[in-house]
Each structure stands twice: as C-alpha cells, then as structure tokens.
Amino acid sequence: MSGATLPKYEPGDRVRVSSEEPEGHCRTPRYVQGRQGTVRKLHGSFRNPESLAYGGTGLPRQPLYLVEFGQPELWKDYKGAAGDRLWIDLYQHWLEPLNDRRISQ
C-alpha cells in the first residue's frame, strides 16, 4: 500500500517508452510513446499521477527520470539542427529496458 518502487535505471541506460495507452489520465505525452531515449538523471520518487488524478493515494511512489531524445529521431522532417535534443520527465512504469547499443550519433 505504501512505500516506493525501487529505481531500475541509471544515467546512460537506453530505454523505450511504452506505447500501451492506459485508460484515463497520464503524464506521458503521445509523441514520446514507443520512442527510444537515454536516461540522464533520476529525479527521485513521486506519487503516481495516474492514481492521484482519480483520488487515489498515488502509492507506491514511482521513480521519475529525466530522459533524453534526439529531436531528429522524434520528428520526421525535423527542421532544426541534428544535435537538438528533447528532455522530458517520465515515470519508471512507462519505461522498458533496451539492451542494444546506441544507434544514433
């Protein structure tokens, strides 16, 4: 009922964002769902917004990570520079491990 889920990822780990859309409110925008990124930082553990939104306790707390994506990999026809990045905060239960080496750069 209480406590926090233990962190599974470290900075540098490659991850894929889940594309299984849950019903109702979530804080993972669709444009990163199914995409591959790199964990940059563990922010700490926070109550799960998908439970809080409906009056739940938000427990167990979920580890929250700063995850980096290459902009040209997120958007077809990205108009900026090749080195542009998107950083976003994602909860652990949305992340799946990727064991392959970095593809980009």
Give the count of beta carbons closer than 10 Å to the beta carbon of residue 16: 16
Sequence-distant (6+) residues with CB within 8 A of 71 are: 78, 80, 84, 85, 86
**Looking at 7-15, 16-24, 67-75, 95-103, which segment touches another protein (CB under 8 A)?**
67-75
For every residue of 25-37, DSSP letters joined together read --SS-GGGTT-EE
Size of the site for another protein (CB under 8 A): 25
Q: How far is the CB of 88 from another protein (least distance, A)?
A: 4
**Looking at 1-9, 10-18, 84-92, 97-105, which segment touches another protein (CB under 8 A)?**
84-92
Q: Is 18 near another protein (CB under 8 A)?
A: no
For residues 14 and 92, is the Cβ–Cβ distance under 8 A? no
Q: Which residues bind another protein (CB under 8 A)?
A: 27-29, 31, 43, 46, 49, 64, 71, 74-75, 78-91
